[in-house]
Amino acid sequence: MPITVYNTLTRRKETFQPISAGRVHLYVCGPTVYDHAHIGHAKTYVAFDAIVRFLRYAGYQVRYVQNITDVGHILDSGEDRILKGAARERLEPMEVVERYTRSYFEDMDALGVQRPDISPRASAHIPEQIELTKRLIEKGHAYEVDGSVYFDVRSFPEYGKLSGRRLEELEDGARVAVRDDKRHPEDFALWKKAPPEHILRWPSPWGWGYPGWHIECSAMATKYLGETFDIHGGGVDNIFPHNECEIAQSEAAFGRPFANYWLLTGSLTLDGVKMSKSLGNVLTIKDALRRWRPEAIRFFILSGLYRSPIDFSDEAVDAALKGWERAIGPALAVRERLRAPGLPDGGAAEIAPALAEIKERFVAAMSDDFNTPIALSVLFDLARLTNQLLHAESPAGRGALEAVEALYRELAGQVLGLLPPADTAAGNAEREAALIRLLIEMRAEARARKDFAASDKIRDRLRAAGVILEDGKTGTTWKFG
Amino acid sequence: MPITVYNTLTRRKETFQPISAGRVHLYVCGPTVYDHAHIGHAKTYVAFDAIVRFLRYAGYQVRYVQNITDVGHILDSGEDRILKGAARERLEPMEVVERYTRSYFEDMDALGVQRPDISPRASAHIPEQIELTKRLIEKGHAYEVDGSVYFDVRSFPEYGKLSGRRLEELEDGARVAVRDDKRHPEDFALWKKAPPEHILRWPSPWGWGYPGWHIECSAMATKYLGETFDIHGGGVDNIFPHNECEIAQSEAAFGRPFANYWLLTGSLTLDGVKMSKSLGNVLTIKDALRRWRPEAIRFFILSGLYRSPIDFSDEAVDAALKGWERAIGPALAVRERLRAPGLPDGGAAEIAPALAEIKERFVAAMSDDFNTPIALSVLFDLARLTNQLLHAESPAGRGALEAVEALYRELAGQVLGLLPPADTAAGNAEREAALIRLLIEMRAEARARKDFAASDKIRDRLRAAGVILEDGKTGTTWKFG
């Protein structure tokens, strides 16, 4: 089945055609690692996780590159984000980078987001960024002023084609912000001169400095995916200036299209308001994970279209949790039923047509610009079918249950990442201790009524499960053996 | 208490004196990430983990830098390790690096090895390595030949001071291997010219190429720890040429000592034989972790002195597991006892002197060149004391048990990393399911004998613990609620 995608560059849905048959080269703008990631990051990267998982499920070999910005991301205040984080925590900049890169991947792992194949860091590609900047100067698209290098926006007439902004508008908007040595206010930095007190700096043909924020993505995408690649992704908030500048840099340097398809995720608000540090309304992924299980957060994000905006609220995620339980609960019940003894065989052939139809509708939904809301509605149909099977007059056969479980694993597990893994499911130590204490009580009661068969059974079965009881003066204690 | 360390540079034990009071700057040579880490890596990094943990316990603020070699590690065969791994797996070199860097940290996390504060990658410090090479040329310690740069060993008379090798010996040994454009066979590469088909290459003042293996450690140690820092660590197998070359490069460039103390770990053999890929006797950490719990492997490694060689064998690790159970088991029994109701109060004052004496001997052992074998023997004394307490005529008081538990947490947990964490201890899903099935049976039996008080109790207590029973036609099933 062909896959259609909404291409922000052309503003229409197109049939996806990769450059090399069967392969997808994908670049997604990654986080700036100066603080813990927030639920806005969760939206973007869970959405692309489902996209990558589906492309792989559809048979594509995907190379997924997502950068780590650890230098050059300058705030409107003129501060470098990493240095700001370092000053706040009294750490070396590279310790800040290390800490929050790790924190980011912890959060992504917890959310079931599969790792990119390559996670290149901006600071690890200084030579590549310098080379690209040199090339842009040679081709007349960039100029040096006093140790800094700027991209000459007027030299690239297509500037604005992704975001739809016209240069004239930009000039009006930018005029107030003139405060540096650029020829035109809308030009942007490829390399910035750094004073000695700026810790993050490197030697270059233009003296000591650091790369501008945008150049890293052009340099690293080209290095790992080629001068033209298939899909560029990211959050829509970065469409201007970041994505626009990437296109200008890359296409001016190499004289060919940068990415063929641009897929941008819609933004996330929290209780109707854009998150911002100054407003103090930032919800980190870690805090969200203290309140909800990761599958609920994934379910919430996937219940909207990747390119639509979404509003995060307690009620909405609580509702998503209920939705997840309704959609996935039957799969867990099937697993449990499959463990029970005495299950009749058969049933696979009878249920096969219904499952095939569900799978087809699911794949159709995902093939239509990765429409996860419709894919989830198909999962609800699977849940309904499963419940009928579980509560039928005549007990469902093993074959039918295994077929249902396999389809759940494919669609809800492999593609959407919503299924807790079966064998690696961790237990709960607290709950386990409560169960053991209850069994110890049952055993004491059995002894009290002189039912030694029962008390011995409890002791022996606990031992078989790896729990050893020890009777002592102060009662019975236990340990794992 | 002062800490003494065996300094390989001076070949004697010295009192450790940091450059800045209360701070330790430590660099340890990290892995080359072209394959899964093996138990030899486990020995080195578990040993330094205990060292860092103890230094922090002793009050030092430690900055621990451990590099990731992802470029420039050339085998004797002339092959680049990363490129070899990439060819083997048909991946981009950076995908190989990503995969095995992640694998390495997974293994280290599993072994309870705390992460370094900074894990700089060689490929992320090309400009720094080029700068250092330029500096060495300017100072007359290096020379360029046809796009490659070599360190002139004769220009640094102290070459060999760490490993004790004399230049004359080296000349004899090296003469056979002459096959490149070096002035003297024992000179070593700072920068190597790379042909276009060599994927890992960067522009430099000497043309396209890549850094030599040794220069990365000099460049990154200096960048993050200063021109002179406190401790340089690594495996003794790298003392020559790697560590020796680091000293030559850094001291020739900056004209001052590189590291004040050199701490090198002894090597590991497997069943008496050095591990090697060509012999096919490499045991990965992942394979070892499939056989033994991580604490057993740590216990095994720490049962030898960090700088002594150790032989890894099934019997030795099985014995270490038994040792671990003997040393740590009483701590787990104490935890369990503390959970039991009706514990008498008190007992802390009576046991305080014995615990203080144990702590003092433990700290003395670790302060004496991080003598973990003696520290473990002190843990056995703590285990003995704990067992006496647990099996005493009159039940031990809560105060005494809590004091024991706290000391275990400090010494066995915080410093040696041998204690499974108390509250985050994951349960075991398999075992939990067995316990629940047993309770379901007990409930069925209670009903059969019309003991509805007992059957209701089981259902209600399970519900309170988060397990919901559902009675159906085919028997009782359960789910977590």
Domain CATH for A225:
3.40.50.620
pLDDT at B481: 64
Q: What is the pLDDT along chain B (481 residues), one digit of tens a residue?
A: 899 999 999 999 999 999 999 999 999 999 999 999 999 999 999 999 999 999 999 999 999 999 999 987 766 667 778 788 788 877 888 999 999 999 999 999 999 999 999 999 999 999 999 999 999 999 999 999 999 999 999 999 999 999 998 877 666 555 445 456 899 999 999 999 998 888 789 999 999 999 998 999 999 999 999 999 999 999 999 999 999 999 999 999 999 999 999 999 999 999 999 998 888 899 999 999 988 889 999 999 999 999 999 999 999 999 999 999 999 999 999 988 888 778 888 899 999 999 999 999 999 999 999 999 999 999 999 999 999 999 988 888 999 999 999 999 999 999 999 998 664 344 566 677 788 888 988 898 899 899 998 898 898 888 877 788 888 776 787 777 6
Pick the residue from chain A with its C-alpha nearest to B449.
Answer: A451
pLDDT of residue B428: 67
Alpha helix stretches (DSSP H) within A255-371: 285-291, 294-302, 314-339, 348-367
Asked if residues B38 and B275 have their Cβ atoms less than 8 Å apart, the reply is yes
Cis ω on the peptide bond leading into residue A241 (within 30° of 0)?
A: yes
The reported pLDDT for the residue numbered B226 is 96
The pLDDT value recorded for residue B435 is: 87
Chain A residues with beta carbon closer than 8 angstroms to that of B336? 477-479
pLDDT tier for residue A171 given thresholds of 50, 70 and 90: low
> In whole angstroms, what is the distance from residue A162 CA to residue A236 CA?
11
pLDDT above 70: percentage of residues in chain A: 94
Calculate how close chain B gets to A465, using CA atoms only, in Å.
5
- Tokens 């070599």 map to which residue? B150
CATH number at residue B333: 1.20.120.640
Strands (E), A194-347: 209-211, 229-235, 259-265, 268-270, 273-274, 310-312
How many interface pairs between A and B have CB atoms less than 8 angstroms apart? Answer: 158
A220, A336, A474, A476, best to mutate vs chain B, most B CBs in 10 Å: A474
Number of CB atoms found within 10 A of residue A158's CB? 11
Same domain as A446, residue A389? no
Work out the minimum CA distance from A458 to partner chain B, whole angstroms.
Answer: 8
Q: For residue B148, what pLDDT is reported?
A: 96
**How far A218 CA sits from the closest chain B CA (Å)?**
17
| Nearest-by-Cβ selection for A126 from B127, B333, B436 | B127
A204 and A55 within one domain: yes
- Flag if A340 and B475 touch (Cβ within 8 Å): yes
Test mutation, B103, B128, B474, B478, chain A, max A CBs within 10 A: B474
Asked if residue A258 lies in contact with residue A226, where contact means CB atoms within 8 angstroms, the answer is: no
Residue A2 has pLDDT above 50, yes or no: yes
Same domain, residue pair A42 and A188: yes
Nearest by CB to B474, which of A131, A340, A473?
A340
Band the pLDDT of A237: cuts 50, 70, 90.
very high
Contacts of B346 (CB under 8 A, 6+ apart): B397, B398, B399, B400
Q: Confidence class of residue A321 from pLDDT cuts 50, 70 and 90? A: very high
Model pLDDT for residues A323-347, shown as the tens digit of each residue: 999 999 999 999 888 887 788 988 9
Q: Give chain B as a 3 state SS string.
A: CCCEEEECCCCEEEECCCCCCCEEEEEECCCECCCCCEHHHHHHHHHHHHHHHHHHHCCCEEEEEECEECCCCECCCCCEHHHHHHHHHCCCHHHHHHHHHHHHHHHHHHCCCCCCCECCEHHHHHHHHHHHHHHHHHCCCEEEECCEEEECHHHCCCCCCCCCCCHHHHHHHHHHHCCCCCCCCCCEEEEEECCCCCCCCECCCCCCEEECCCHHHHHHHHHHHCCCEEEEEEEHHHHHHHHHHHHHHHHHHHCCCCEEEEEEECCEEECCEECCCCCCCCCEHHHHHHHCCHHHHHHHHHCCCCCCCEEECHHHHHHHHHHHHHHHHHHHHHHHHHHCCCCCCCCHHHHHHHHHHHHHHHHHHHHECCCHHHHHHHHHHHHHHHHHHHCCCCCCCHHHHHHHHHHHHHHHHHHCCCCCCCCCCCECHHHHHHHHHHHHHHHHHHHHCCCHHHHHHHHHHHHHHCEEEEEECCEEEEEEC
Question: Is B438–A465 a contact, with Cβ atoms under 8 angstroms apart?
Answer: yes
* B205 part of a folded domain: yes
The alpha carbon of residue A454 is apart from the nearest alpha carbon of chain B, in Å, by 8
Same domain for B340 and B467, yes or no, is no
Tell whether A292 is covered by a domain. no
3-state secondary structure of A352: helix
**Tokens read off for B172:** 């004899």
Return d(Cα A263, Cα A14) in angstroms, integer.
12
Average pLDDT on A188-208 reads 91
B57-76 pLDDT tens trace:
999 999 999 999 998 776 66
- Residue A311 in domain: no
Question: Which of A393, A415, A437 marks a domain boundary?
Answer: A415
pLDDT at A177 over 80: no
- Looking at the fold, whether A71 and A162 belong to one and the same domain comes out as yes
Q: Please indicate, yes or no, whether residues A14 and A148 belong to a single structural domain of this protein.
A: yes
| Chain B, nearest residue to A337 by Cα | B477
pLDDT higher than threshold 70 for residue A440: yes
What are the backbone dihedrals phi and psi of residue A233, each rounded to the nearest 5 degrees, phi first?
-120, 170
Residues on chain B touching A132 (C-beta within 8 angstroms): none
Given this model, what pLDDT does residue B85 score? 79
Overall average pLDDT of the A157-170 stretch: 86
> Residue A475's pLDDT is what?
75
User: What pLDDT does residue B172 have?
Assistant: 58
Residue A259 has pLDDT above 70, yes or no: yes
Q: pLDDT value at position B429? A: 66
| DSSP string computed for A146-184 | TTEEEE-GGG-TTTTTTTT--HHHHHHHHGGG--SS-SS
* Mean pLDDT of all residues in A204-233: 96
- List the single residue in A with minimal CA-CA distance to B102: A115
Contacts of B125 in chain A (CB under 8 A): 124
Residues of B in contact with A106 (CB under 8 A): none
The answer on pLDDT for A424 being more than 50 is no
Do both B38 and B166 map to the same domain?
Answer: yes
Chosen from A89, A94, A225 to mutate, greatest number of chain B CBs within 10 A: A94
- Residue A11: pLDDT band (50, 70, 90) is very high
Q: Does the residue A422 lie in any domain?
A: no
Q: Which tokens go with A392? A: 């039928």
| Nearest chain A residue to B436, by CA | A435
Contact B428 A432 (CB under 8 A): yes
Tell if the CB–CB gap between B340 and A477 is shorter than 8 Å. Answer: yes
- The residue behind tokens 């299924």 is A419
The tens digit of pLDDT for each residue in B63-111 reads: 999 999 998 776 666 777 878 878 887 788 899 999 999 999 999 999 9
* CA triple B278-B281-B282, angle to 5 deg: 95
| CA gap B103, A306 in Å, rounded | 31
Query: A372 and A447 share a domain?
Result: no
Residue A195 lies in a domain: yes
pLDDT of residue A77: 67
Q: What is the pLDDT of residue B433?
A: 78
A16 & A158 share domain: yes
pLDDT of residue B176: 45
Quote the pLDDT of residue B197.
80
Shortest distance between the Cα of A434 and any Cα of chain B, in A, equals 6
Select from B265, B290, B323 the last residue of a domain.
Answer: B265
Using CB atoms, pick whichever of A203, A336, A477 lies closest to residue B127.
Answer: A203
Pick the residue from chain A with its C-alpha nearest to B455.
A442
Gap from A97 CA to chain B (nearest CA, Å): 9
The C-alpha torsion from A218 through A224 and A228 to A232, rounded to 10°, is -70
State the nearest Cα–Cα gap between B91 and chain A, in angstroms.
Answer: 10
Residue B228 sits in the same domain as residue B174:
yes
Separation CA A313–CA A319 (nearest Å): 10
- Is the ipTM of this structure higher than 0.85? no
Euclidean distance between CA atoms A127 and A110, whole angstroms: 34
Domain membership flag for residue B300: no
Residue in chain B closest to A394 (alpha carbons) equals: B473
Task: Count the domains in chain A.
Answer: 3
pLDDT value for A428: 67
Question: Does residue A356 carry a pLDDT above 80?
Answer: yes
* Statement to judge: residues A13 and A103 lie in one domain: yes
- Which residues of chain B make contact with A98, given a CB cutoff of 8 A? 115-119
| CB-CB neighbors (< 8 A) of B115 in chain A | 98, 102
Structure confidence at residue B106 (pLDDT): 95
Q: Mutate one of B61, B118, B138 to test the A interface: name it (highest A CB count within 10 A).
A: B118
Report DSSP state, residue A117.
S
Token pair 């103390």 in the structure block, residue: B261
> Is the same domain home to A365 and A460?
no
Taking an 8 Å cut-off on Cβ atoms, the answer to whether A461 and B438 are in contact is yes
Q: Is residue A215, in this structure, part of any structural domain at all?
A: yes
Chain B residues touching A463 at Cβ < 8 A: none
Looking at residues A81-109, what average pLDDT do you find?
88
User: Rounded to a whole number, what is the distance in Å from the CA of A402 to chain B's nearest CA?
Assistant: 17
Hey, are the CB atoms on A203 and B442 less than 8 Å from each other?
no
pLDDT above 80: residue A423:
no
Alpha carbon of B76: minimum distance to chain A alpha carbons (Å): 27
| Chain A contact set for B102 (CB, 8 A) | 115
Residue B425: what pLDDT? 43
Domain housing A245: 4-265
Minimum-distance CB partner of A202 among B120, B127, B337: B127
Q: Rounded to 5 degrees, what are φ and ψ at B296?
A: -65, -40
* CB-nearest partner of B95 from A117, A425, A445: A117
- Helical segments of A8-92, H only: 39-57, 81-89
Domain boundary, last residue among B265, B286, B304: B265
Q: Report yes or no on A99 lying in a domain.
A: yes
Judge: B92–A121 Cβ closer than 8 Å, yes or no. no
Distance of CA B26 to the CA centre of its chain: 14
CB < 8 Å to A128, chain B: 202
